[in-house]
Amino acid sequence: MNLETLIREAEDVRRFSYAPYSRFTVGAALLASDDTVYRGCNVENASFALSLCAERTAFCSAIADGQRHFVAIAIVGGEETQDHLEYCFPCGSCRQVMTEFCESDFEIIVAKSCNDYTVYTLKELLPHGFSLK
């Protein structure tokens, strides 16, 4: 699967985001090594600390489907009403969750659109992440 297709998946799932508190909607598309794509969006809660990020929603879906090997994740996010997106970098907690399941060369695609994006490695975004493995 090419990166543009993965970004389109993230853009598409972003419309399902549940973000009535921040009004900041995020979509993520996680590519497993068998080419399956797992999609996630942020899911907020009135008890704010319980809110889930799009990236972790995608990872939980993939793990619950038996996946353990991942290649890349595409992330798009911005204010609900905003037409022109800014780059939406994964938060520190999501980077640590990626460290649990991914190798250091796992690709994190931070995108404004399918022709405006930057590809980082997990090692670049979270050097020295905590791991017991």
> Catalytic site residues?
55
Q: How many residues form the binding site for ligand THU (CB under 6 A)?
A: 16
| Under rule CB under 6 A, residue 29 binds ligand THU | no
Residue 111's DSSP bridge partners are 117
Residue 43 to residue 56: CA distance in whole angstroms = 10
Binding mask 62-81 for ligand THU (x = CB under 6 A): -------------x-x----
Residues 7-19: b if buried by 16+ CB within 10 A, e if exposed: bbbbbebbeebeb
Q: What angle do CA 7, 117, 88 make, to 5 degrees?
A: 80
Least distance between ligand THU and beta carbon 127 (Å): 18
How many Cα atoms sit within 13 Å of 28 on the Cβ side? 29
Judged by CB under 6 A, the residue of 10, 44, 70, 78 near ligand THU is 44
| Under rule CB under 6 A, residue 59 binds ligand THU | no
DSSP state of 49: G
Q: Which is nearer to ligand THU, 55 or 107 (CB)?
A: 55
- List binders of ligand THU among 87-106 (CB under 6 A): 88, 90-91, 94
* Sole window of 4-12, 31-39, 47-55, 96-104 interacting with ligand THU (rule: CB under 6 A): 47-55
* Sole window of 6-14, 16-24, 30-38, 65-73 interacting with ligand THU (rule: CB under 6 A): 16-24
Residue 75 to residue 109: CA distance in whole angstroms = 6
